[in-house]
Chain A
Amino acid sequence: MSPVVTGRVLRTRSEAMSVRVAGRSVSVCVGIVVVLLVVMCATLMTGEYQLSVGEVLGAVTGTGEGSADFIVNTLRMPRLLTALFVGAALAASGAILQGLTRNPLGSPDFIGFNNGAATGALLVIIVFGGGMYQIAVGALLGAIITALLIYVLAFSRGVHGFRFVLIGIGLNALALAVNSYLITRASLYDALTAQAWLVGSVNGRGWEHVAAAGLAILVLLPLALYHSRSLAMMELGDDSAKALGVGVQRSRAVLIVVSVLLAAFATAAAGPIVFVALAAPQLARRLTKSASPGLISSALMGGLLLIAGDFAIQRAFPTAQLPVGTATGCIGGLYLIWLLASEWRGKARYS
């Protein structure tokens, strides 16, 4: 039997407030942050021009000289931060949706937001021939319209979680079909641009992308955290959650909106990077050994997955300019395989 309350409970003197802290989650989060910082330093220092720690620090604090300042603040930093924020946003979006649907497949990859965003972006690329900024706006609109459609279609006397997901995968299939159709009808050049966008890339991203993704995280993540207590209870099922005093319909609506917007902004900034939303919460869950994916640990894991992927792809294929989605798929996939296999050797605890 496991104890009813795990972790340590911190209380104020009069017990007016108490917070439960799961020791393992905290140490895992700290560990991820440390690895994150190391990878970030490595990304900023290496590349076509090697920079020393001092030069990078100087550039970051605004006291660097010309070339180092340009390389760090104009070329490397925006790309790095875009990757970090996009990864975190996707992972948080996935963690929320997986919790809401109580299904590891309930990630925005499957429920149409990403493909809806892609439809918007492909329309811009192939039909209107727009540039990077217009593509981002198209993607944002595509994701939001898809989500609204799902919500409207799934609404009848409240939103049933399962119906929401089913209608989502229906619209996902429709968006996917439209996307394939657009790709077969486009010129080869446009089709290649579209395909590269579809894999998800942070090549050549600037500060405006950082601002978009960062703002989304700054506003939406606290909102999600505020509601994450009810999320944990909703994983017990609607009826139990209601009995525990959760306003199920309202919390669900808020969480869905947050999840959609996180995925939408991330996709607008970097394209539909597959697998992060699905894998990061699962990886975090397996590392923290908790029953449900925690929001913070998932978000950190997503950020790490994306910047590590981008670092790897830049070093492994410096000339090919491959999109980061190829690396996150590879790294995240192999890591998940390794985790599954090591559980296989150990005690099959989560089976």
Chain B
Amino acid sequence: MNPETFSGDAVIDAVSAVFMVVGALMSLAAAVGLLRFPDLMTRMHAATKPQVLGLFLLLFALGLQMRTWWVWPVLVVAWIFQLLTVPVSAHMVGRAGYRTKHLHPELLSTDELEAVVQQAAGKSGFTEDDGDAAAGRR
């Protein structure tokens, strides 16, 4: 290989190839996690989090391959929106899952929320859905 062909292009191709493979690996991790983890909460970890890194790597590789500067703002905006929405959806599903008891208590080493929820439930009943965990303490 003469020095001229070993230019920036080859490096960019190599970097984006690595990023794409690792990004795909993160999707695989999500799939494996969904199959292997025991309850809703642990599955949420697997289902939502690899996107953060996986999507970052895939978008980065895409940006490198497009070789035009104007795709970068779109990719950055796409990633930022992902960052803003992933925790919210994960929180909503996790919260609903906790309240509907979609978890295995024997797989929790400690549960510091349970006492607070019990207290809140004792005072206001289970029908109150919009109150937060502190409702019982106010």
A binds B: no
Q: Which residues of A contact B (CB under 8 A)?
A: none
Q: Which residues of B contact A (CB under 8 A)?
A: none
